[in-house]
Amino acid sequence: LKMLHYDFGVYEKVSQAMYQVFFEEEAAEVVQPVSCDEAYIELAPGTDPEEAARRVRKRLMEKTRCPASAGVGGNMLLARLATKQAKPNGHRVMLGVEEAMTYLQELPMREIPGVGWELGMKLNQKGLDTCGEMWRVSLPVLQSWLGEKTGLMLYKACRGQDDREVIPKVARKSVGAEVNWGCLLYT
């Protein structure tokens, strides 16, 4: 085991350079920081999302010498899932409804943000392992099993629905040390 100590000064410098790239991106209408190395970027209408992802990844490599993954989706959830598919050091565009539904149909429930071990086990006990299997369950039934809020979240997420808006800078709540160099593009 070789232990490496964190160098927060370097992380901060690279993070600042990364965000400078995001804010300088001409197609970025809104940038929402997520962590020291992730952000949602809402692209201007008419922007070629694949070209924007390539451009941002290239500029990140030039400025930080760090590879980056980017996911483009019609909403924040799909962008995040696309980024997972793009890792490591790639980009994935998932804008079409049909494409998203094909992807989601086989997606394990545990890949949905917010589905942890315990919730995953509850769903597994009901015979639900994938989003496609979840499509057979009505919203009222799902809410009776998991509660109103969690049931609605899962019902919508398994169908690729996410109505959250990209919002600029939110107040920092904590500082973390995990770095995985991904970025999310949202259009």
Given phi > 0 = left and psi -120 to 50 = alpha, else beta, which region is 28? beta
Separation CA 112–CA 148 (nearest Å): 17
DSSP string, 157-182: HTTT---PPP-S-------------E
CA atoms within 13 A on the CB side of 80: 17
Catalytic residue from among 26, 38, 111, 178? 38
- The residues with which 73 forms a beta bridge, in sequence order, are 94, 186
Active site residue 38: yes
| Active-site annotation, residues | 38
